[in-house]
Amino acid sequence: MHHTLQIQEILLNIFGHCCQYEFGVLHVSSGVAALARTCRAFKEPALDVLWEELIELSSLVCCIPKASHRLSSKSYAFHRSLTQIEWDILRSYTRRIRSINLVEDMPRIDHKCFLDLLKHPMTEPLFPNVRKLYIQYPGDKHMLLATLPSLMSLDIRLANLSFHPYHDETVDMGCIDPKFICHWRNLQSIDCSEMPLDMTTLVHLSRLPALVNLSFTLPSTLPDQISSSDSPLIFSNLKQLLLHSEFLSPVSHLLSKIRLPAVTDLAACIDFRPARQDLSLFFANVWTSGSPRTIQALRLIQPYNWGETSVPGDRPVLGLEDLRLYVPFSNLRWIQLDIEWKIDLTDSELLTLVSTWPCLEELSINTEWGWNTLGGITPNGLLQLLHSCPLLTWIAVPIDTRAEIPPSPTSLGFLPPQCTINFVDSFIEEESVPAIAAFIASLMASSQLHFHAWSSYGMIAPYRDVCRERWRDVEEWVGQFR
């Protein structure tokens, strides 16, 4: 054997190329198992790769002699206590596991079997090196895994029984005490988007120096529970924060009681339309909670609910003065604003805004709810905007299809090399289709540009169906021009 194959790091790197991820799940080639049986030198690194990620708890039970367990109704169970030799066998595999990814657990192990595995007689944890835990269908037994002391990343997802009827052990995350998170000291990432946190847990998280990513549901009463002695809570190294809340006001209130000196990505996802004063307070508290120079992504999202019946005419209008709230954050690269408001911006106002952000890569305004305007940015204004933002890769803005079409875009010089334009709910008349198609085709000749329009059901203007059909005609015309 060549001497380089006796170096463990080289073997691990080679064997690692026999693995690939599909839909977030690690799939290991059967060749790795064959390598583990080839020779003594290959055995250890091959087993390390084979057992790096655990996706079925039942696979552990299958590693020990069949005399210790039985399979009944697609569920494994122990029918006697495991011997020390059997525990040693399990330990030889579980010490290699770095990630537990429970997407599905079929065939399952029963509750007592699960408890036996976690409450083993050994002095050290059964999973001493697990760093990442992902649970897509959380059950009561699965939550016990969250006490593993070595965890550095947690991602818990809630499955609704109406969508996944074959999983009968799903639980309401609101019924789980979030204080189990307080077991960790080295946590780097936590994503519990559907689980509300309490004050004790939030205070604990603020004291974790390694925490860089945090996402959770914000109860409306939580900000009031933060005492003056604890406020402000300082998340010293947190880079990404995503807050889920019914209303925007609790988010603003929380931001007034925390400090985020290192945050780069701040997002709020709310259920109901914010008032104008809520918007002002939100941006003001974003400013005071973190360093305006560090924030590169600022997102405020109100997801559209299927079957929404609101009338566009009832929506308030968001104009330049409202969007000036973004201006103090001069290092923004990604801007996403999607709320149940109308948008009213002219060419000059949009150009004034984007001139504030020299490194802008995404400007996404109301991709779900639409702008609800018959106008929009003119073709000439769009050209100037693209010319002003050379790093732009995504923009959502309506285009005024009735405005004059400018000459070839090459006359304006450099355009972003790759960009997707979402024309959201742009109104278009039938006679405007060929001219707009020719304009878009000329843009595509100078840049790798993609475009679409009317792609969300939140756009409920009365002319929606006819405009969708005309934008399909635009796509056909663009194909002919190219």
Each domain of the chain, given as residue ranges in start order, spans 1-50, 53-176
pLDDT on residue 49: 78
pLDDT on residue 394: 96
pLDDT on residue 137: 54
For residue 422, the Cα-to-chain-centroid distance in whole angstroms is 21
More confident residue, 128 or 271: 271
Read off the pLDDT of each residue in 140-157 and give the average, rounded to a whole number.
Answer: 59
Count of alpha carbons within 13 Å of 288, Cβ hemisphere only? 14
Confidence of residue 474 (pLDDT cuts 50, 70, 90): very high
44 Cβ neighbours under 8 A, 6+ residues apart: 8
Are residues 411 and 378 in contact, defined by beta-carbon separation less than 8 angstroms? no
- CA-only gyration radius of the chain, Å: 27
On the question of pLDDT at 271 being above 50, the answer is: yes
Read off the pLDDT of each residue in 70-82 and give the average, rounded to a whole number.
Answer: 82
pTM above 0.95, yes or no: no
Percent over 70 (pLDDT), the chain: 76
Largest separation between any pair of C-alpha atoms in the chain: 83
Confidence of residue 172 (pLDDT cuts 50, 70, 90): very low
First and final C-alpha spacing in the chain: 58
CA distance linking residue 338 with residue 55, whole number of Å: 36
What does each C-alpha distance from 154 to 60, 129, 180, 211, 415 come to in angstroms? Answer: 21, 14, 12, 11, 41
pLDDT on residue 414: 77
On the question of pLDDT at 310 being above 90, the answer is: no
Count the Cβ atoms, other than its own, within 10 Å of residue 174. 12
Read off the pLDDT of each residue in 160-185 and give the average, rounded to a whole number.
Answer: 45
- Which residue in 384, 481, 389 sits closest to 436, CA to CA? 481
Q: What is the pLDDT of residues 210-229, one digit of tens each?
A: 899 999 999 999 999 998 88
Are residues 273 and 304 in contact, defined by beta-carbon separation less than 8 angstroms? no
DSSP for residue 399: B
CA distance linking residue 404 with residue 407, whole number of Å: 10
Strand partners for 101: 134
Query: What residue type is assigned to position 66 of the chain?
Result: K
Confidence of residue 393 (pLDDT cuts 50, 70, 90): very high
pLDDT on residue 167: 32
Q: What is the pLDDT of residues 19-47, one digit of tens each?
A: 655 544 555 556 666 666 666 666 777 77
Are residues 336 and 305 in contact, defined by beta-carbon separation less than 8 angstroms? no
On the question of pLDDT at 304 being above 60, the answer is: yes
On the question of pLDDT at 103 being above 90, the answer is: no
pLDDT on residue 37: 62
